[in-house]
Amino acid sequence: GMITGDFVNRATIIMEDLQTPVMKIQGTMMDILGVGVLIMGAPGIGKSETAMALLRRGHSLVSDDLTDLKMDSSGVVIASCPTGIRYHMELHGLGIIHVPSIFGVASVRGRKTLDLVIKLARAETLRDAGPDDPNAVVAMLGSSVTCVTIPVAPGRDIAGLVEIAALDQKLKKLGHDAAKELDEKLIKRMSEGRD
């Protein structure tokens, strides 16, 4: 049988799971190179199409258009898919597709930590907003998550931009602040050029 301590630990985890409030949010959740990315934006802006392009690049889908968020015991926000729609996505003009049948079993994940929120917004609505704040965050279940707004316009490679934002986030997590490194390199190059 199961040893009492082990049972108590497992029961505690299950009870925590049951008690943790789940927040349903309109957004598509992806795993991009190990970075959990929630893509948000107005209906019809192209969240699912962006997710599809990311799947074609070899990344994984957690949930399409509706995502469950909950905080684990360590204060990390975990995203998962509402049970009824797991591993499916809806594409305008194509209807509902079963993702693993098309992209293989590695194209889906059951759950993923939320590391980055990407808001897709029509370029014309952002025109007067001024420069982007690189340190923008959004509160999710009381935890603050980095938030990047990407302007959507015809001909822009939105999936490519989302992929780069995820990579940039991964570098920052690893302790490399790419912008800071670039600034330092430029300052060094400029000071060397003065002699």
In this prediction the pTM is 0.81
Q: What is the mean predicted confidence (pLDDT) over 49-73?
A: 94
* Nearest CA-CA partner of 65 in 82, 54, 56, 57: 82
Distance CA 82, CA 17 (A): 15
Place of tokens 């965050």: 137
For residues 129 and 51, the answer to whether their CB atoms sit within 8 Å is no
Contact 83, 191 (CB under 8 A): no
138-184 pLDDT, tens digit per residue, is: 888 888 999 999 999 999 999 999 999 999 999 888 877 777 888 88
d(CA 88, CA 100): 8
pLDDT the model gives residue 2: 60
The pLDDT value recorded for residue 19 is 63
